[in-house]
Amino acid sequence: MKMAKNGTHIYHSCIIAKAKNENLYAREFIEYYLNLGVEKFYFGDDNEDFVENLSDVLDDYIKKGIVEIEYINNLHMPHHDFCEYTFKAIKFRCKWILIFDIDEYLEFTDKNMTLKSYLDAPMFDKCDAIRIHWMIYDDNNLIYYDNRTLKERFTHGLPNEESNQ
């Protein structure tokens, strides 16, 4: 969603994401989107009480000001409610706000494309929101975590999934 039409935004693009027991690949998610040009991440830590806090895994990003985390595990806040709550709080800080799950990856067919150059394309000048087609991936019969990246582990889209066609 495009925000801050008056040009007072601090960041070109930010991500809002709720994370529930996804600490193992939170860093991978951040690095991937930093490489695409995202400047700021707002996470809702919805981890179970027996899982370490997301801030323990992302402490260096927090100290650099790249990540902000709100603890929501005891608030019973659905994903939509967290995103709406955060959106209202940051809407004038970011020109573009992307709302993802922490295991979702945006890919461009042009490997030289950056998120900034994509979002700054003239075709979006009058747009307030962009809906992006998504691909749902299979679990690839992987039951246990391994150290490969998500993109290396999950490579097969579900052929019968309506959104994948």
DSSP string, 68-131: EEEE-TTTT--HHHHHHHHHHHHTTTEEEEEE--TT-----SSTT--HHHHHTSGGGTT-S---
Which strand (E) or helix (H) includes residue 62? helix 59-63
**What phi and psi, each to the nearest 5 degrees, are found at residue 16?**
-110, 130
pLDDT of residue 149: 79
pLDDT of residue 24: 86
User: 144-155 pLDDT, tens per residue?
Assistant: 777 887 777 777
Q: How far is CA 59 from CA 33, 38, 54, 139, 144, in A?
A: 17, 18, 8, 30, 26
pLDDT of residue 59: 96
Nearest to 104 by CA among 12, 19, 165, 3: 19
pLDDT of residue 162: 57
- The residues of the chain scoring below 70 in pLDDT are 1-7, 135, 137-138, 156, 158-165
pLDDT of residue 153: 76
Tell me the whole-structure pTM to 2 decimals: 0.82
pLDDT of residue 12: 92
Q: How far is CA 47 from CA 24, 76, 110, in A?
A: 12, 11, 35
pLDDT of residue 161: 55
pLDDT of residue 159: 65
Q: Distance (Å, rounded) from C-alpha 162 to C-alpha 121?
A: 29
